[in-house]
Amino acid sequence: MIKLFRYLKPHWLFVILAPLLMVIEVCMDLMQPQLMASIIDDGVMKGNLALVQSTGLKMLLIAFIGLLGGVGCTIFASYASVYFAADLRDDLFKRVQSFAFKQIDRFSGGQLVTRLTNDVTQLQHFIEMLLKIFVRTPMLIIGSIVMVIVISPKLALILTVSIPLLFIAIYCLIRFAFPLFSKVQAKLDAVNNVLQENLRGIRLVKAFVRADFEREKFGKRNTDYTDFAVKSFRIMALNMPIMMLIMNVTIVAVLWFGAGQAWAGDLPVGDLVAFINYVTQVLFSVLMASNLLMAVSRARASADRVNEVLAIKPEENNNGAQRLHHVEGHVEFRNVSFAYENSQANVLKSINFEAKPGKTVAILGAAGAGKSSLVHLIPGLYAPTEGVVMLDGKNVLELPFEDLRKHIGLVLQQTILFSGTIYENISFGKPDATQEEVEAAAVAAQAHEFIRKMPNGYETVLGQRGVNLSGGQKQRIAIARALLLRPKILILDDSTSAVDVKTEAAIQQALKTDWSNSTCIIIAQRISSVVDADFIIVLEDGEIVAQGKHEQLLASSSIYQEIYQSQQRKEEVING
């Protein structure tokens, strides 16, 4: 948790002012019981009204000064904690943005959301409490103990029993509570995961009438989280009753023995009242210390989870590598094998092929054959476990990723659009694009016509993830987004699966006409989509089992023939 204190450095002034103002409040609080004793012993007991009035005014003034100190401390502690949380959240978001794909795979969306929100909020509350209580508690304890010893050393012996009891109780509570706090946050991750999945697939849930199932699944996660939360807070709830019990027993003991001293004339009544006030301040300070330590337990659990994200090294950008100035688009796989992290089985095995500039390479294969994994290696989103992926004769992992990816237009298998206008979504990779450039890309992607017919054209605002568009429309906007970059390498990962054959043919024709200099790598399910490709690769279980042109594969590859015949039969059934 100490590692995170560096986020307080930019706000050092608030961090200093808050405790200093708290010192003022504590000093004022320590003066009050002595003044009260003076009123009772020298004013009330002796009938000196003038002293009562003057001392009372002093107490009011001291109370007002203490109020100013307390309010100032709260304000500056709040500023420091809020800015601390904002900077930490900003760094966490930046770190997540810098993750390589293999690092993204380590966390679910719900885990990252919880860490950027709930965990950071826990730390914010802890910092605020720390700046207010860290100074107040030890000062009040030390100051009050000194005063009770000065007033009556004999009565002060009572604290030698009560204070150790308080600390033993605090230690036991924290020891049992801390492991639970970590589990509570993990259970909250699970709740967020289910919630995110449900919200993303709410239309599918309704279409398949699975609302009851989803409610039951969410209910289990929510109940699991609730049970752990109740268990941890039940332990925390014991804190106050135990503290109050020890505190009340201590005060009773003080009154019991103090009354005897007062009757014997060894202790003035005013001093006895002051003694009780100081003892109360000591015990309340220990109680505040217990609350702070409980907050430390919760904050430590959150800090561990936050540090886990911050500890992940960002994707190395190879800034020292030679920058790319002229890219031909010659892609070559040399004996490439690949396995995902924490997986022993290779997804790709000894892949060898090349895609020359201006040529179209198509990749066919069943689901899970490794098609998407293969194309993710080209922009360096993953690193091969064996072999190298080359671009114009250079290892892509040794190139500056930012430069490399500017020359690659990637349309992912899962179409992702952002809330905002259609124009903003198409120009996502090139924010300074002109209207003419955006429209040209949309025309090539066969999206211009349906965009033009929308209420506000290119300024039509899309809902989250493009919910107000059909699947085919989303795919065409995603293709336009990639084409706008005028990439030297265009990768279409099954990106026309929701588009009809006629529209797909028009898109392919536009690519041949206006993007003829680009190397095009297409993943497709339909053979009709790749008939005109310059080179076709057939993948099965991560291995290339056939490659060549359409006619060659029909003549020589039994697997390709089987795929072709099965699709032909389907078309015949559909057509009548």
pLDDT, tens digit (0-9, with 9 covering 90-100), for 235-272: 767 767 877 788 788 888 888 888 877 777 777 888 88
Higher pLDDT, 327 or 100: 327
219-232 per-position pLDDT tens digit: 888 888 888 778 77
Instruction: Indicate if the pLDDT at residue 573 is higher than 60.
Output: no
Interatomic CA distance for residues 111 and 475, integer angstroms: 29
Helix, strand, coil in percent for the chain, rounding step 5: 65, 10, 25
- Close Cβ partners of 386 (under 8 Å, ≥ 6 residues apart): 335, 336, 337, 338, 350
Higher pLDDT, 76 or 167: 76
**Local structure of 289: helix, strand or coil:** helix
Mean pLDDT of 290-299: 76
Mean pLDDT of 428-432: 89
Interatomic CA distance for residues 300 and 5, integer angstroms: 12
For the chain, state the CA radius of gyration: 35
pLDDT (0 to 100) of residue 200: 66
Question: If DSSP states are collapsed to H, E and C, what string results for 45-79?
Answer: CCCCHHHHHHHHHHHHHHHHHHHHHHHHHHHHHHH
Least confident of 215-229, 285-299, 374-388, 406-420: 285-299
- Close Cβ partners of 493 (under 8 Å, ≥ 6 residues apart): 371, 372, 375, 410, 411, 412, 413, 523
Token pair belonging to 17: 């002012």
Instruction: Indicate if the pLDDT at residue 575 is higher than 60.
Output: no
The answer to whether 92 and 306 are in contact (CB under 8 A) is yes
Average pLDDT of the residues of the chain: 84
269-310 vs 12-38: helix crossing angle, rounded to 10: 160
**CA angle (71, 77, 81) in 5-degree steps:** 150
**CA angle (490, 103, 362) in 5-degree steps:** 25
Per DSSP, what are the bridge partners of residue 539? 365, 544
294 exposure class (CB count in 10 Å sphere: 0-12, 13-18, 19+): buried
Least confident of 107-111, 138-142, 379-383: 107-111
Instruction: Indicate if the pLDDT at residue 356 is higher than 60.
Output: yes
117-133 per-position pLDDT tens digit: 888 998 999 999 889 88
pLDDT confidence of 351, banded at 50, 70, 90? very high
Mean pLDDT of 161-182: 76
Nearest to 317 by CA among 397, 425, 234: 397
C-beta atoms surrounding 40 within 10 Å = 18
Instruction: Indicate if the pLDDT at residue 206 is higher than 90.
Output: no
Alpha carbon distances (Å) from 329 to 247, 374, 382, 517:
77, 17, 19, 9
Mean pLDDT of 460-471: 77
C-beta atoms surrounding 142 within 10 Å = 14
- Close Cβ partners of 28 (under 8 Å, ≥ 6 residues apart): 62, 63, 65, 66, 69
pLDDT-above-90 percentage for the chain: 20
Q: Give the containing element (helix H, strand E) for 352.
A: strand 348-355
Q: Record the pTM.
A: 0.71
C-alpha torsion sign, points 333, 373, 360, 349: positive
The answer to whether 418 and 494 are in contact (CB under 8 A) is no
Higher pLDDT, 358 or 291: 358
Mean pLDDT of 62-74: 92
pLDDT confidence of 389, banded at 50, 70, 90? very high
Instruction: Choose the most confident range, by mean pLDDT, from 3-17, 45-59, 232-246.
Output: 3-17
501-514 vs 435-444: helix crossing angle, rounded to 10: 130
pLDDT confidence of 20, banded at 50, 70, 90? very high
Instruction: Indicate if the pLDDT at residue 178 is higher than 70.
Output: no
Token pair belonging to 95: 């770190």
pLDDT confidence of 301, banded at 50, 70, 90? confident
**CA angle (477, 364, 339) in 5-degree steps:** 95
pLDDT (0 to 100) of residue 330: 92
Higher pLDDT, 253 or 185: 253
Domains of the chain: 2-310 (1.20.1560.10), 331-575 (3.40.50.300)
- Close Cβ partners of 315 (under 8 Å, ≥ 6 residues apart): 98, 99, 100, 103, 401
Residue 107 phi, psi (nearest 5): -120, 145
pLDDT (0 to 100) of residue 574: 52
pLDDT (0 to 100) of residue 572: 56
438-458 per-position pLDDT tens digit: 999 999 999 999 999 888 889
The answer to whether 420 and 462 are in contact (CB under 8 A) is yes
Token pair belonging to 145: 């103990």
